[in-house]
Copies of this chain bind each other. A is one copy, B any other.
Amino acid sequence: MSRVWNFSAGPAAIPSVVLERAQRELLDWNGSGASVMELSHRGKLFIGLAQQAEADLRELLGVPDDYAVLFLQGGATQHFAQIPMNLAGDGDSADYIVNGHWGEKAASEAAPYVRVNIAASSKSDQYLRLPPRESWQLDPRAAYVHYTPNETIHGVEYHEIPDVGDVPLVADFSSNILSEPLNVSRFGLIYAGAQKNIGPSGLVVMIVRRDLLQRVSRPMAKIFRYAEQAANDSMLNTPNTWGWYLAGLTFQWLKDQGGLAAMAERNRAKAELLYQAIDGSGGYYRNPVQVSARSRMNVPFTLHDSALDAAFLKESEAAGLLALKGHKALGGMRASLYNAVPLEAVQALVSFMKDFAVRHG
């Protein structure tokens, strides 16, 4: 089978040119006579790769010098717990903005380590709207404010960085990191599981203001301390070297594409095309999300008659459109339009949708 258009929510599409390069050099990387997976992370060759990846990420996002960049393991979920372990002390509270499934999980995994204050939630709106900044009940003494700029299941996205004053803003950017330029200096800590916009699963990229690493925190193993990882260039133990390598190739690919401003334009065009097809279908397709809160990355939509869902999935797959099944929480369909999904893929999807509507009346 040839390559399909992949709309998976994650693990998700990786740029074909990145995969082709990884394929070419899989058995002999960089003239070493070995795979990149077979080399010591402490050897000169891998250290060079690791530093280049960090430098490219810093360049792409304009990461200020007073921020550390970490390449970690455990998925965003582990860091739901590790963040309060590192940033909150005994008796501290933290404010959580819950605007979808992942925000809910972040709050519940944090609860053993910090007093969680749900400062805002859109649960009563089934997460189809965003709690507006004015409604957030923030505590100026909170250890940090946590939110999820983009929620993959509900398909909602904050299009502006909320102002939370002097309290460090912590954001789970798993599903929209690198999709547009970002003012990193507005954040205390940014983290992202790699498997949506960066590379394969099993890698977490974190950008954290260095002063936050100095917070005195609870007794715990060194391996859980971000300060230790920062002091050891993310090599306190053996990192996920393959993930780091593919992340680096993806950063280079992003630079070749013109950087994040160019990606933002492409991502906007992709999302617009799909939302227009949905909104212009006369109700055949529907997106349930408040228009101003719509995500550029994840577009859930339903068919006017859910009895057609099975046919839609079967025919779309046969047409080379992969992983359009919606999350069980919302039903229907979902198309994820991360960086590695090209405009052509969305064009193919939209054209299929129009055709499907005609054929199935």
Name A residues whose Cβ lies closer than 8 Å to a Cβ of B: 1-4, 6, 8-14, 16, 19-20, 22-23, 26-28, 31-35, 37-41, 43, 73-78, 80-81, 108-110, 112-113, 193, 195, 199-203, 219-224, 236-243, 246, 320, 322-323
Alpha-carbon distance between A220 and B112 when the two chains are bound, in angstroms: 5
A6-B38 contact, Cβ under 8 Å, with A19-B27, A74-B74, A202-B242: yes
Q: In the complex, what's the smallest C-beta–C-beta distance from A278 to chain B, in angstroms?
A: 23
Q: Residue A81 contacts which of B32, B37, B200, B220 (CB distance < 8 angstroms)?
A: B220
Q: Residue A4 contacts which of B32, B40, B223, B241 (CB distance < 8 angstroms)?
A: B32
Q: Which residue, of A26, A73, A113, has the highest number of chain B Cβ atoms within 10 A?
A: A73
Q: Which residue, of A9, A35, A199, A239, has the highest number of chain B Cβ atoms within 10 A?
A: A35
11 contacts between A and B (CB under 8 A): A2-B33, A10-B40, A11-B39, A11-B40, A41-B201, A73-B78, A75-B238, A78-B221, A78-B224, A202-B240, A240-B243
Main SS at interface, chain A: loop
A113-B75 contact, Cβ under 8 Å, with A33-B4, A38-B13: no
Q: Residue A2 contacts which of B4, B19, B28 (CB distance < 8 angstroms)?
A: B28
- Please name the residue on chain B nearest to A200 by beta carbon: B37
A34-B322 contact, Cβ under 8 Å, with A23-B26, A74-B73, A201-B242: yes
B221–A81 CB distance below 8 A: yes
A26–B37 CB distance below 8 A: no
